[in-house]
A = this chain, B = another copy of it.
């Protein structure tokens, strides 16, 4: 006879009873596959905008990549410059069940289910386990990083002996030296183990950032004995124990608090004080968190009907953006892999401004302002970066961390022959980053109407990046035009090219827009003294220069050429490589792929996406027909498919758009690119939101107004979302009614 699980003790089981309420909100896994351990750790990340915690098991597992990553806690790493350092973990539960240590690596797993509830970011796992000695236990784990107070981290485990009785001992140790991709970054400063509170204060070895984690346990459903906190060799642990009887569930609640030197000079004291005033009341903690999430979803949700996978995917992407964005800190930004993995070591790329920021600009403008302010705070470093290369103005680094210095590794080891190093050129040649930031500033200004931000911070960014582009341009006397040579556009398969259309056009846009903003400032804020504001003569020269920047076009076809000479490269038919599981770069080799027309991601089409009025629909259709078959959307950059979906919508090919969209939607949920282990594809998540809103719903907005032009996939019956336009929330609700194409409420 199998005893029934108590639904209140194991809330993940309550889900079935309310299938309608949870439909499209639950990411679930019914079998644990150790071969996919790292990608599912990413999949089940929890977070709250201050930190992210990978979905490793409370009890641990061989080979796991356990990590909690906190915004701004960087430390030096030999060779790789600087990285987010995984902080001491708050999730551990060691279970001693009648003398046997619980782990999925021993005994037999009779039942397993893991769910992430996107409504409130709660991760649950229920396990029925037969121990090596043959005793059966039901275990239910839950955890969440509170959105109500991001310093509060909550977990619990419910233990039910099914067919025996015995002593249960639960320990919750805190590891003082967690590893980051195998590397230690920490020294212990202090440990706490008294009055039931276990905690520690640690400090990074080089950057001297401090993090405190403190926690306490409580038991319900049983008479606890042996409760307390111990310091075992610098690894403090809270512990409880009880005598469990067959069929009787008991529950251990853990409340943990975190403090960092980024917010306070006394992280340990502050975390301890927070823990002291926080009631050990699970329901109250859950309710506060759920209420904060409800407020968030009320404006951020995107409803897709007629396609359950797409519905779940778009919510999953919005969830990932929300748990990654700093709410109370404008000196950090979102890394390419968010706070969910070691990939790119927490560094910030153009991914943030170009791919993720539109979601925030349209839906959470106060967070967009934080993220843009991160760049403003680092303008001095960008100016130094420009000056170091012999240029004027401000040059944002290709990879950015805390200081704004360039932190792109200059070399990376060649995977096939590690003693060899591959030179990473993006730090030198990917100069479009400045215009990408400027573009995001301008879009935020247009959509939010936040003139104060533009006057106080945004304009300074635009002036700095414009001045860089002015000094980086080269005058070609023979052709009578400005050129940008030795650059790399979005398509990183082609480095060191001249007259990359994307880079050149965005530079020209930046020069023109900076002059326009200077004009606006002069009229609207005559008192403003913006550092680096251009003189009237400079404005004129920026506009003249913008008009004289060369954009390559093929005289025969009128097609815009990605860069000088692209049309003369070898054409490779990707169809002949159907079924491949590697990028075209891996197949053709680092040296050959630049000699072909294979793109890592859209480049001219990326320009078309950012500048919707630049090409006519006809021109766009011709560009799409030319460039899309040449783009490695499958295994090239994960930045590609979401944007490609929008372009396919623009040219009226909704079926193709849906294909690209689902490829992006599955990057993390199904790990279709095989690299979800390294962390969430943050840019792809942002592109998914854009694909639904700008692509399928066809939203266009500027400072004067907005419109939608729906082109839903055949089987979608509804798309609904909200967005903020110049301080007011708007609602779009597109329904496919029998005989009706679309309607907007």
Contacts and interface: CB of A to CB of B under 8 A. Distances in A.
Nearest to A79: B79
A405 B420 CA distance: 12
A405 B419 contact: yes
A63 interface: yes
Given A179-B179, A179-B184, 6 more contacts: A60-B233, A182-B183, A184-B184, A406-B419, A407-B419, A411-B421
Contacts of A233: 60, 94, 101, 173
Contacts of A411: 411, 421
**Chain A interface category by residue count:** 20 to 34
A62 B205 CA distance: 12
Nearest to A184: B182
A15 interface: no
Nearest to A407: B419
A448 to B, nearest CB: 35
19 contacts: A60-B233, A62-B188, A63-B187, A76-B418, A78-B79, A78-B418, A79-B79, A79-B413, A79-B421, A81-B419, A94-B233, A179-B179, A179-B184, A182-B183, A182-B184, A182-B185, A184-B184, A406-B419, A410-B419
A619 interface: no
Contacts of A60: 233-234
A307 B182 CA distance: 48
A231 interface: yes
Contacts of A410: 419-421
A142 B94 CA distance: 34
Contacts of A231: 101
A491 to B, nearest CB: 25
Contacts of A407: 419
Contacts of A101: 231, 233
A599 to B, nearest CB: 29
Interface in A50-86: 60, 62-63, 76, 78-81
Contacts of A62: 187-188
Interface of A: 60, 62-63, 76, 78-81, 94, 101, 173, 177, 179, 182-185, 187-188, 205, 231, 233-234, 405-407, 409-411, 413, 418-421
A183 B409 CA distance: 19
A187 B179 CA distance: 13
Contact of A78 (B184, B234, B413): B413
* 5 nearest A-B pairs in the assembled complex, by CB-CB distance: A79-B79, A182-B184, A81-B419, A179-B184, A182-B183
Contacts of A179: 177, 179, 184
Which of A177, A205, A233 is packed against the most chain B CB atoms within 10 Å?
Answer: A233
Contacts of A406: 419
Given A62-B188, A187-B62, A187-B63, A81 B418 contact: yes
Nearest to A175: B233
Which of A80, A184, A418 is packed against the most chain B CB atoms within 10 Å?
Answer: A418
Contacts of A205: 182
A184 B67 CA distance: 15
A413 B405 CA distance: 16
A729 to B, nearest CB: 44
A115 to B, nearest CB: 26
Contacts of A173: 233
Nearest to A60: B233
A118 B62 CA distance: 41
Nearest to A420: B410
A714 to B, nearest CB: 48
A411 B233 CA distance: 38
Contacts of A234: 60
A184 B419 CA distance: 20
A185 to B, nearest CB: 8
Nearest to A230: B101
A202 to B, nearest CB: 11
A465 to B, nearest CB: 22
Contacts of A188: 62
A666 B229 CA distance: 47
A589 B409 CA distance: 24
Contacts of A419: 81, 405-407, 409-410
A419 to B, nearest CB: 5
A444 to B, nearest CB: 30
A610 to B, nearest CB: 30
A78 B94 CA distance: 32
A185 B182 CA distance: 7
A277 to B, nearest CB: 29
Nearest to A59: B233
Nearest to A419: B81
Nearest to A185: B182
A205 B182 CA distance: 10
